[in-house]
Structure 1
Amino acid sequence: MIKGSIVAIVTPMFPDGAVDWNSLAGLVEWHIAEGTDAIVAVGTTGESATLDFDEHIEVIRRVVGYAKKRVPVIAGTGSNSTAEAIAQTRAAKDVGADAALLVTPYYNKPPQEGLYRHYKAVAEAVDLPQILYNVPGRTGCDMLPATVARLARIPNIVGLKEAKGELSRIRELLALELGAHFAIYSGDDATACESILAGCQGDISVTANVAPRKMHRLCAAALAGDRAGALALDAELRALHKDLFVEPNPIPVKWALAEMKKIQNGLRLPLVPLDPSHHEVVRAALRAAGAL
């Protein structure tokens, strides 16, 4: 079971939108050196929505190669098309991903039975550990705990990233009998500390992009039941948890990484660089966390 601080890594780009492979390799090395426990490649933060199929799989392949089995690599392979989700998950397995993260189908708003059948179809088509991903604020679709419980009975569905941002939902999920093989991960940095203290196995994190060592230490403390230590670290990161979302993710976190000289500030339309009115806000959050 994957545990701890799991970075939803950005996909570095040049100003023209081309993928910056050298910077991606550098980020992977930095995360491993800083203690990041696992890497999600091409999730929401990795701009999966604007990478084409070949680019998507190439990012996963390269992250797997850069990581060299030192940390697990989880591939973002979700889609609002079940056939496409199957194809991406199969390709991710072929290039060596350790697991897949599949967002709920977005825009078409499937009912709970549709969600169940979608995930069941992907799990049955590809023999790879698969993590469900619920983020209704992005997708317009909320996967309910009862559906998660049904899906947890499928052997290679091994976890859920819950990004609704409500501790009440986390507690409801943790109260279910989902099996020892099934992990619940926070997908919301602001509530991740309390979620892990309550029983989650880690955090799939945006904040870890810019403060990897502190996020690793926070998650390790919370997993060990060190409430005081975890909350103290969380307090140092609180401004980042909030201010990395002053505009839609990953706009602020890419600006922050460029400010840290880790990447260039390249994004693909329809995303645009962080508005200058937010620069000092994000800069102050980086300083508060000791990242600048």
Structure 2
Amino acid sequence: MKYKGLICAMITPLDENQNINPKATCELIDYLINKGVSGLFILGTNGECHVLTDDEKVEFAKIVVKHTNNRVPVFVGTGGNSTREVINLSKRMEEIGASALSIITPYFVPPTQNELIAHYKAIAESVNLPIMMYNMPGKTGINIEPESVRELAKVKNIVGIKDSSGKLDNMKAYLEVTKGEDFSVFSGSDSLILDILKAGGHGAVAATANFLAGIDIAIYDNFIKGDLEAAQKAQNSIEELRRILKLGTIPSVIKKAVVLNGIDVGPARFPVTQPTGEVLEEIKKVVENYKKEFNKDL
């Protein structure tokens, strides 16, 4: 089965003491599923995977899997630098009922393409869950090259890739080398949702959906219906949110937007701090403008 649609790169709600907040997590899950997302992608970049312990990741995944209750697939991030540690965490996530795994490339010391292929193959052999690779060269220092994707797409349970390179040509190359495979290519760059769909891609994993789920889904739905004008209008309308996301360290701004929209997902984990001053005022203004213009479409 090919995965497709608009999947939310879900934030991780925390309380005032920086601990996982189960209540807000469940509220956010219900909000996103009721809006119509095709899946939940947890413990990614905007999910603060890099500042959570493995035990916290398992704790959070248990909450999400249980509350989602098979309404949509739950993609759980288990990536890391050590193949052994990724395998151990992936097995734990399989035990608690994750639908699929999301595995970012190793980072800090970027491996060669051959090492990367061996890394993903070893993980795939250790679990039965579907695996979506996660390419984010701007943060990891390594790009999963198309020829590597060609080889890895032949592995039975490696079923797709989220590409956050921001390069449409890179995604098009992934589509080209995986023709005929049961393999999905998703944009991880929210600015390219419509572009990847036009190129033959299968959807997007979007962080903006935490606040603009209805608008992001409208990009996909209108494209599928053949209404490219409406799809483009929806694509253009997320740019104002994307602009202010750059005003703070990930994921402080998107978290504040969600809080202002009525779900108390709390702050980011330290050392990232909450927006204040002029930045906070700008976020408030943009959120209010979205509410006035789109209201129930958010």
Normalising by structure 2, report the TM-score: 0.93
CA contact (8 A) 2:43 2:57 kept: yes
For the pair 1:277 / 2:278, whether they are aligned, the reply is: yes
1-side partners of 2:202 and 2:123: how far apart?
24
What secondary structure, in the 3-state scheme, does the structure 2 residue paired with 1:117 have?
A: helix
For the pair 1:11 / 2:23, whether they are aligned, the reply is: no
Within-5 A mapping of 1:5-44: 5-44=6-45
CA contact (8 A) 1:6 1:205 kept: yes
1-side partners of 2:84 and 2:90: how far apart?
10
1-side partners of 2:80 and 2:226: how far apart?
36
CA contact (8 A) 2:260 2:287 kept: no
1-side partners of 2:103 and 2:87: how far apart?
10
1-side partners of 2:163 and 2:272: how far apart?
24
Partner of 2:177: 176
What secondary structure, in the 3-state scheme, does the structure 1 residue paired with 2:240 have?
A: helix
Counterpart amino acid of 2:139? R
- Matched positions, count: 292
**How far is 1:288 from its partner?**
4.4
CA contact (8 A) 1:4 1:223 kept: no
Partner of 2:79: 78
What secondary structure, in the 3-state scheme, does the structure 1 residue paired with 2:129 have?
A: coil
Task: Give a deviation string over 1:151-180, Cα, whole Å, max 9, x none.
Answer: 111010000000001112122222223434
- The change in CA–CA distance for 1:231 and 1:284 in structure 2 (over 3 A counts) is farther
For the pair 1:237 / 2:238, whether they are aligned, the reply is: yes
**How far is 1:70 from its partner?**
0.8
Gaps in structure 2 of 5+ consecutive residues: none
CA contact (8 A) 2:208 2:241 kept: yes
Counterpart amino acid of 2:140? T
1-side partners of 2:181 and 2:225: how far apart?
18
CA contact (8 A) 2:154 2:181 kept: no
Percent identity of equivalent pairs: 30
Partner of 1:220: 221
What secondary structure, in the 3-state scheme, does the structure 2 residue paired with 1:175 have?
A: helix
- The change in CA–CA distance for 1:176 and 1:288 in structure 2 (over 3 A counts) is farther
- The change in CA–CA distance for 1:196 and 1:280 in structure 2 (over 3 A counts) is farther
1-side partners of 2:156 and 2:122: how far apart?
13
Counterpart amino acid of 2:274? P
Partner of 1:207: 208
Partner of 2:141: 140
Task: Give a deviation string over 1:64-110, Cα, whole Å, max 9, x none.
Answer: 11111111111011111111111111111111111100001011111
Within-5 A mapping of 1:239-258: 239-258=240-259
What secondary structure, in the 3-state scheme, does the structure 2 residue paired with 1:160 have?
A: strand
Partner of 1:126: 127
How big is the alpha-carbon RMSD for the aligned residues of Structure 1 and Structure 2? 1.6
2-side partners of 1:280 and 1:234: how far apart?
25
- The change in CA–CA distance for 1:88 and 1:271 in structure 2 (over 3 A counts) is same
**How far is 1:275 from its partner?**
4.2
1-side partners of 2:125 and 2:77: how far apart?
18
Partner of 1:60: 61
Partner of 1:187: 188
Most deviating of 247-256 and 108-117: 247-256
